[in-house]
Each structure stands twice: as structure tokens, then as C-alpha cells.
Amino acid sequence: MKHHFIFLIISILLVSSCSSQAPPLKSNSPYGVVVIDDLEREVRFNHPPQRIVSLDPSITEILFALGLNNEMVGVTDYCDYPEQARTTPKVGGYINPNIEAIALLEPDLVVTTLKTNTPRLIQQLEDFGITVFVLDPKKIEDIFENISSLAKITYREERAGELLGALKERLHGVRKKVAEISRPGVFLGMGKDPLISVGPGSFAHDLIGIAGGRNVVGHSSSRYRKYSLEEILLADPEVIIICSMAPDDSCLAQKKWWKRWTNISAVRNSRIYVVEANLLTRPGPRMIEGLMEIAKAIHPEIFLEQER
């Protein structure tokens, strides 16, 4: 009788223990998923990564936007957004990261972008048993795909759905507003000495077109190219956008320099604007903010009026 009683107590404890366990994962759980990266590699994940290293500022911004603050254990020296990225352990530059420093962080995922050293980097990290996922966005829609892929890997698909919904709505809104209006010529300067601007294949070039402008040096065969002042004078842009390398930098010296050339339409009509470069060059969620800033500069009659 005593043995039956003990058996009954054990059975009750076992049933109680089983009932307190977490419910089974949903069918769309990222556990055990296979995701194709932008090198067309099948990358397998048996569980959501808990220790992530980002080797590009744009990736860092995506991962933080997905709410992976606690999972981020390492970023590059150039990852400065959001604020928490500034205090996350650094692993060197994104061209030449410190492989040993990354390995010491014991990440179960390293995310990087396609660069000239990427194949060697992948091999070095995989030699340490570290999983590497590579992104190579070329247009805004690719950024959305990258966000979706990282969300699937990290079990943040619901968060990604909300984020992507908001980003796509703003993108569609801009395209709709400029669909049937004139396109003024735009020169977007990445620097003054030398004068560098953007061409096809760059995100900034695409953003000018999406925002309802016409890149006056859009005929270039290079994504980034040096230009002479004579070429810009001949192109006669109606809008000049200066890329600031630091947030809240008004680029007063550059503005003053441009204002010397009063035969340029943009100068004559006081249409020189400043936009933070990171919003135009980092393929992450904030690129839509960059699009909005360019749209306001090109078509203030639509987008600035909308904010009033």
C-alpha cells in the first residue's frame, strides 16, 4: 500500500512538471530553419542565435530595430546607431575586423555584407565554428528582404512585420505623390574637395528618382565619381543636396562655397539642402528617413506642406 502511495505521488509530480513546460513551438518557428543568404548559400540554424556580431553599421541598425538589443555582443568601430551600439563591444573595422576578438565573444551568428574580403572572412570565422550570414542589398526592396531574412533567423517575424509595414507604406506614399509631377535636376554631393557624386547602382541615385528628382549626373557608369566644377555648371542642377558626415552638421562651409556660383539655378533660388549621409548610404530602416529628407528638398511644395 505504501509503495502504491509513493507511485501515485511521483505520477502527480510528473504530470505537474509536464504541464508547466512551455507550449510547443509554432509551425513558423525559426528553430531548424534554412535561410538563403545573398551569396546563395544555404545557412542552417537549429535555434535562434543568442550571441550576434554585426560587421556592418547597416546590419547593426536592422538588428537593433528588430529588438535584438540583448543578443548583440559585438559591432564594428563604425556602428554608432542606435545609441546602444556605441557601448556594444567593438571588433574592429568592417573591412578588416579582428577575427580573434570576434571568436572570444563566442557568437553563434556573425552577419556581414559582401566585400572584397568576404570569402576569406567567412572561411576564417567558420574555422572557429561560427555561422556567417552574408547580405548584399542593391536596391530598397532588397533591404526589406534582408530584414525579413534576419527576422526569420532570430524569431522576430512579428516585429519585422510591423516594421516593414510602416516602411513600405511610407515608400509607397512618396512614389504615389511624385508619380505625375515634373522632375527637377538634382546634384547630390558626397564631398566638396574633390566633388564626388552618385550614379546608377548607388542607393542615393535611386532615392533621388523615387523622391521625384532627376540626377543630373545619372548618366555616369560609376556608382561614385569625381566631377569638375565645370561639369556641374554645365548640368545646372535646380536642387543641390549636401551629404553631411555627422548628424546635425549644417555644412555651413560647403554651403558658403556653393553660394559663390550664382549662375547655378539651385544657388540662385536658394535651394541648397543638407542631409545626413548615413541616411542615404546605410541600407537599413533609416534609409526611408533619408528618402523623406530628399523628397522634402526636391518637392517642398508637397512634403513640407504635408508636415504643416
Q: How confident is the model at residue 191 (pLDDT cuts 50, 70, 90)?
A: confident
Residue 179: HSE in the Cβ half-sphere, 13 Å Cα cutoff: 6
Q: What is the pLDDT of residues 55-78, one digit of tens each?
A: 999 999 999 999 999 999 999 999
pLDDT at 250 over 60: yes
Q: What is the pLDDT of residues 252-286, one digit of tens each?
A: 889 999 999 999 999 999 999 999 999 999 999 99
pLDDT at 5 over 50: no
Contact 32, 42 (CB under 8 A): no
Residue carrying C-alpha cell 508637397: 302
Q: What is the pLDDT of residue 21?
A: 32
Q: What is the pLDDT of residue 307?
A: 63
Q: What is the pLDDT of residue 82?
A: 97
Cα 169 from chain centre: 17
Q: What is the pLDDT of residue 10?
A: 38
C-alpha cell, 165: 509595414
- The residue type found at 275 is V
Q: How confident is the model at residue 115 (pLDDT cuts 50, 70, 90)?
A: confident
Q: What is the pLDDT of residue 305?
A: 66
Strand bridging mode 224-227 / 195-198: antiparallel
Mean pLDDT, residues 47-53: 96
pLDDT at 17 over 50: no
pLDDT at 306 over 50: yes
C-alpha cell, 74: 559585438
CA angle 215, 217, 222 (to 5 degrees): 115
Cα 286 from chain centre: 7
What is the pLDDT of the chain when averaged over all its residues? 89
pLDDT at 37 over 50: yes
Residue 261: HSE in the Cβ half-sphere, 13 Å Cα cutoff: 20
C-alpha cell, 239: 536642387
Q: What is the pLDDT of residue 308?
A: 52
Domains of the chain: 33-170 (3.40.50.1980), 180-307 (3.40.50.1980)
Q: HEC states along the chain? A: CHHHHHHHHHHHHHHHHHHCCCCCCCCCCCCCEEEECCCCCEEEECCCCCCEEECCHHHHHHHHHCCCCCCEEEECCCCCCCHHHHHCCECECCCCECHHHHHHCCCCEEEEECCCCHHHHHHHHHHCCCCEEEECCCCHHHHHHHHHHHHHHHCCHHHHHHHHHHHHHHHHHHHHHCCCCCCCEEEEEEEECCEEEECCCCHHHHHHHHCCCEECCCCCCCCEEEECHHHHHHHCCCEEEEEECCCCCCCHHHHHHHCCCCCCHHHHCCCEEEEECHHHHCCCCCHHHHHHHHHHHHCHHHHHHHHC
Q: How confident is the model at residue 3 (pLDDT cuts 50, 70, 90)?
A: very low
Q: What is the pLDDT of residues 66-111, one digit of tens each?
A: 999 999 999 999 999 999 999 999 999 988 999 999 999 999 999 9
Q: Please tell me the distance from the alpha carbon of residue 20 to that of residue 13, in angstroms, as a whole number.
A: 11
